[in-house]
């Protein structure tokens, strides 16, 4: 009897007395495993072009400052997917590939950037057909009247199919109380995950404490997101590296005095406002403001050297 029979055909064969209950259970179990295992969509060995693309994607991730835990996770996921593919090709039992994730971290710690890289990587590994990132928040999912929320959530899921649905500040879906439509969105999201498990990855993201409470109060939801990733705050030294990288990409650089001033600015912001005001987003804002200030400082000069155009000085940081 072929293991490729559809579920309804298997049940019909059982009702007609052509299959034993043991055989039925085995066929249904094999069918479910195949349905859950995204890696089974790929060939035994990815083409050389895919391997080159995978290396290029991983090199981009490796080029990001910090994020060591996330880089290690990528190695684990890649190895896991490839081994499951090889086991399947040798008709060995395979583990379901459930890649739904929770990203916990303050703003500016790299959550969205990593999610985008994951989408591209999962496409090359054969887990997703498109690999794009669909980024949404509560307003994109929750409607204003009964039935509206489920419709909005389904539409968002349809747009995310083949890629990653990234829900920022996901805990806000459960903040409105018993009459809020956020619960309806969560229910529609869970159904969409089940219906499209072979070509959709969902990532819930937000502040660490709020996300932890959200998952604790929704234990059924937590179990559907087996991969939990903590995005640590950058150290001041790492933020300086990020600043120098941002400037280098724009063909600017910091003078030694400017570097020292930026260090003091970042340290002060973190001391006064906490990590959420001292991460990569803050660095980007400071750098962009410094470039504008440098332009105002230089534009009135009669003679401007190339070195002047490239160098950010301490007075360019306000």
Which contacts of 29-33 are long-range, i.e. CB under 8 A and separated by 24 or more positions?
A: 30/3, 31/3, 31/5, 31/7, 33/93, 33/94, 33/96
Flag residues of the chain having pLDDT under 70: 1-48, 176-179, 275-278
Q: Position of tokens 């030294």? A: 237
pLDDT of residue 201: 96
Pair 58, 184 in one domain:
yes
How far apart, in whole angstroms, are the C-alpha atoms of residue 254 and residue 277?
A: 21
pLDDT in tens, 178-196: 567 888 898 899 999 989 9
Domain annotation covers residue 77: yes
Pair 108, 170 in one domain:
yes
Pair 25, 47 in one domain:
no
pLDDT of residue 167: 95
Domain total of the chain: 3
For residue 148, how many other CB atoms are within 10 A of its CB? 13
DSSP state of 129: S
* Domain final position from 174, 198, 231: 231
SS3 166: strand
Residue 205 bridge partners (DSSP): 103, 168
Domain annotation covers residue 247: yes
Domain annotation covers residue 191: yes
pLDDT of residue 291: 97
Domain span including residue 278: 236-316
For residue 297, how many other CB atoms are within 10 A of its CB? 13
Q: Position of tokens 């000069």? A: 301
* Domain final position from 203, 231, 259: 231
Q: How far is CA 297 from CA 176, 283, 293, in A?
A: 50, 21, 6
Question: Torsion over CA of 135, 139, 144 and 150, rounded to 10 degrees?
Answer: 20
Domain annotation covers residue 164: yes
Domain annotation covers residue 105: yes
For residue 269, how many other CB atoms are within 10 A of its CB? 20
pLDDT in tens, 29-83: 555 444 444 544 544 444 567 888 999 999 999 999 999 999 999 999 999 988 9
Q: Are 40 and 94 in contact (CB under 8 A)?
A: yes
Question: Is the pTM higher than 0.85?
Answer: no
Residue 96 sits in a domain whose CATH number is 3.40.50.300
pLDDT in tens, 129-144: 999 999 999 999 988 8
pLDDT of residue 271: 82
pLDDT of residue 243: 96
pLDDT of residue 13: 65
Domain annotation covers residue 1: no
pLDDT of residue 35: 42
Domain annotation covers residue 2: no
Pair 225, 137 in one domain:
yes
Pair 161, 251 in one domain:
no
Q: How far is CA 207 from CA 46, 67, 104, 230, 279, in A?
A: 37, 17, 6, 10, 13
299's tokens: 């534009």
Q: How many residues does the chain have?
A: 318
Q: Position of tokens 């949404």? A: 136
Pair 112, 66 in one domain:
yes
Pair 310, 186 in one domain:
no
């Amino acid at each position: 009897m072929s293991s490729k029979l559809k579920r309804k055909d298997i049940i019909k064969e059982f009702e007609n007395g052509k299959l034993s209950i043991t055989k039925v259970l085995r066929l249904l179990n094999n069918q479910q495993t195949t349905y859950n295992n995204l890696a089974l969509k790929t060939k035994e060995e990815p083409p050389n072009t895919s391997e080159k693309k995978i290396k290029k994607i991983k090199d981009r991730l490796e080029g990001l400052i910090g994020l060591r835990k996330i880089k290690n996770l990528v190695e684990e996921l890649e190895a896991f997917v490839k081994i499951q593919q090889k086991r399947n090709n040798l008709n060995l039992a395979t583990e379901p590939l459930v890649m739904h994730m929770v990203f916990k971290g303050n703003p500016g710690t790299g959550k969205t950037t990593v999610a985008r890289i994951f989408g591209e990587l999962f496409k090359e590994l054969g887990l997703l057909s498109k690999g794009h990132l669909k980024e949404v928040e509560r307003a994109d999912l929750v409607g204003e009247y009964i039935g509206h929320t489920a419709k909005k959530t389904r539409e968002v899921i349809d747009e995310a199919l083949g890629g990653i649905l990234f829900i920022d500040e996901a805990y806000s879906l459960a903040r409105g109380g018993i009459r809020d439509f956020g619960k309806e969105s969560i229910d529609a999201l869970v159904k969409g995950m089940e219906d499209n498990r072979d070509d959709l990855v969902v990532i819930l993201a937000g502040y660490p404490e709020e996300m932890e409470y959200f998952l604790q109060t929704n234990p059924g939801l937590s179990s559907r997101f087996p991969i939990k990733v903590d995005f640590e705050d950058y150290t001041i030294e790492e933020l300086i590296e990020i600043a120098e990288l941002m400037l280098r990409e724009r063909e600017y650089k910091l003078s030694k005095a400017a570097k020292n001033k930026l260090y003091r600015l970042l340290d002060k912001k973190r001391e006064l406002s906490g990590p959420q005001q001292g991460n990569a987003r803050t660095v980007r804002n400071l750098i962009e403001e410094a470039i504008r200030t440098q332009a105002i400082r230089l534009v009135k000069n009669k003679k401007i050297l190339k070195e002047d155009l490239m160098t950010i000085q301490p007075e360019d940081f306000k």
